[in-house]
Amino acid sequence: MEIAPGAFHLRQFLPVAAQRALLDRCQSLLDGDVPGYVPTVRGGGKMHVRMLCLGRHWNGQTYRYEPTRADFDNLRAPSLPSELRDLASEIATACGMTLEPDICILNYYDHEGRMGLHQDKDEGARSIAAGVPVVSVSLGDTARFLFGGTRRRDPVEALMLESGDAFVFGGPSRLRYHGVSRIVPQTAPSALGIDGRFNLTFRQYDLDGA
């Protein structure tokens, strides 16, 4: 389960019935009144995912969290549903960690989707310094997930994250580089009826909720 100090791969944490319910929730959120979109980041490049931030919005131009989507349509970020908060806290507890999430980034990857190597370092300084974990949940097609070290040039391990898997990294692994190099088509459980992959990543912006 522990692949590095503070980093855990929980295979098949969610049974298929729970995956189905969570998938329905993700689809309704992504297509809701404040819908997901493809962000443009600094330099003008487009990301290769459709993104929706819950709780706080991540601005792809400033690399900061904010209440509204100032880089896109100025709509307020939707709230983070309580059942999603509870799920993330449960997963962190299973790894001996504590998380009281106030942010969830919901990404949809089609078969061309990917995410370059990066650190999750835009949260509050106290949260990062304390090693408060990031909790990730995968739904749908399998992703080839890259997990490196705290320096970009460190060796990278490739893991296959399947539908229902959770991945947690905190403590000494909190600032490890990670990314998604590819999505494997037609690998989702047939009961889900999905092409592509949803990924939810939960974070705690700061220890005092500021």
- For residue range 74-113, what is the model confidence (pLDDT) as tens digits? 999 999 999 999 999 999 999 999 999 999 999 999 999 9
Percent of the chain with pLDDT over 90: 97
Burial classification of residue 207, based on how many CB atoms lie within 10 Å of its CB (0-12 exposed, 13-18 middle, 19 or more buried): middle
Running DSSP on this structure, what letter comes out for residue 79?
P
Measure the CA–CA gap between 94 and 167, rounded to whole angstroms: 11
Q: What is the pLDDT of residue 6?
A: 98
What topology is assigned to 2-203 in CATH?
Jelly Rolls (2.60.120)
pTM confidence score:
0.96
What's the one-letter identity of residue 178?
A: H
- For residue range 160-202, what is the model confidence (pLDDT) as tens digits? 999 999 999 999 999 999 999 999 999 999 999 999 999 999 9
Mean pLDDT of 32-60: 97
Domain boundaries, the chain: 2-203
pLDDT at 209 over 60: no
User: Residue 51, Cα to own-chain centre: how many angstroms?
Assistant: 10
pLDDT at 23 over 80: yes
Q: What is the pLDDT of residue 186?
A: 97
Q: What is the pLDDT of residue 1?
A: 86
pLDDT at 210 over 60: no
Mean pLDDT of 49-53: 98
Measure the CA–CA gap between 139 and 148, rounded to whole angstroms: 22
Q: CB of 105 within 8 A of CB of 77?
A: no
